[in-house]
């Protein structure tokens, strides 16, 4: 009888240990899933989703390169950016750019154009790549018009006046 009790205690202890290992494994898998999701988000911010997905399946990076016959590109910058930056703190610069880029990122999704990059106050989008589009020029023009309209409420932190004055064409340059 004593041997049976001993075995029962050992089995219960082994079961408890396995349950703890199982919980740790579940937590590790949850953390791994979260990190994979964050990695995907970061990757999709750096390269087009279509290209990232192809690379993830093991496709040769060279094979992901494509040629597009016709694309439209929009370059935008704040004309008075250097002047504004000379009057405000670095944190205010970051806040102003974050507000502007949050607006532009929303417009990028709405207009279905691809954000290529942002450097300082420069914002670059393309249509017609990485997915071919017949109406790429129209999409980029719509994006430009939406950008000009959307930023009319953006304020210069040093003066509380509009970053883009009454002349709306002043702040965006299409090349």
Kindly report, residue by residue over 17-66, the tens digit of the pLDDT: 999 999 999 999 999 999 988 888 888 777 778 888 888 888 888 888 88
Sheet holding 122-127, edge to edge: 72-76, 122-127, 114-119
**What was the pLDDT predicted at 3?**
65
Spatial contact of 139 and 84, defined as CB atoms under 8 Å apart = no
Report the length, in residues, of the chain.
Answer: 175
- Rounded to two decimals, the pTM is 0.65
55: Cβ contacts below 8 Å, ≥ 6 apart: 47, 61, 64
């Amino acid at each position: 009888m004593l041997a049976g009790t001993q075995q029962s205690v050992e089995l219960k202890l082994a079961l408890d240990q396995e349950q703890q290992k199982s919980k740790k494994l579940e937590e590790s898998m949850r953390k791994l899933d979260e990190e994979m999701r964050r990695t995907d988000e970061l990757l999709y911010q750096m390269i087009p989703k279509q290209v990232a997905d192809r690379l993830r399946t093991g496709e040769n990076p060279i094979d992901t390169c494509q040629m597009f016959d016709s694309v439209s590109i929009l370059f935008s910058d704040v004309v008075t950016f250097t002047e504004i930056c000379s009057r405000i703190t670095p944190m205010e610069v970051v806040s102003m750019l974050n507000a502007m880029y949050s607006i532009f990122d929303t417009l990028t999704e709405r207009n279905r154009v691809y954000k290529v990059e942002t450097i300082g106050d420069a914002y670059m989008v393309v249509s017609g790549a990485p997915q071919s589009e017949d109406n790429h020029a129209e999409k980029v023009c719509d994006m430009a018009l939406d950008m000009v309209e959307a930023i009319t409420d953006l304020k210069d932190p040093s003066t509380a006046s509009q970053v883009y004055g009454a002349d709306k064409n002043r702040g965006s340059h299409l090349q």
